[in-house]
Amino acid sequence: MHGGMGGYYEIRVRAGNDLHRLFCILDNADAKGLKDRGFNAPQIVVLNGMTKPIGTKFSEADYRKNVRVYGEDYLTTLPRRISE
């Protein structure tokens, strides 16, 4: 993604007239950085999902409230909080 969403990634699925998006972060580092984060390998972190009609845009406030706030919170924790 670009602009204020740089560093985030999305998976898109189109269903009928809707576009479903799953927002993620890639959490990778050298071996020491991964160990400090509680990992032994790079991770794909799913933050949240949103749906919109095709041809419309999410607002900056949507991205902030539904994606970036979770990404910023996740990146500030050591070791990382994970769900298995």
pLDDT tens per residue, range 18-28: 999 999 999 99
> Which tens digit of pLDDT belongs to each residue from 47-74?
999 999 999 999 999 999 999 999 999 9
Parse the chain into domains and list their residue ranges: 3-75
**C-alpha span between 50 and 12 (Å, rounded):** 10
CA 51 to chain centre: 15
pTM: 0.85
**C-alpha span between 28 and 16 (Å, rounded):** 35
Nearest CA to 22 out of 33, 35, 9 is that of 9
Q: Report the SS3 class of residue 12.
A: strand
78 within 8 A of 55, measured Cβ to Cβ: no
Indicate the pLDDT class of residue 1, thresholds 50, 70 and 90.
confident
Q: What is the mean pLDDT of the chain?
A: 92
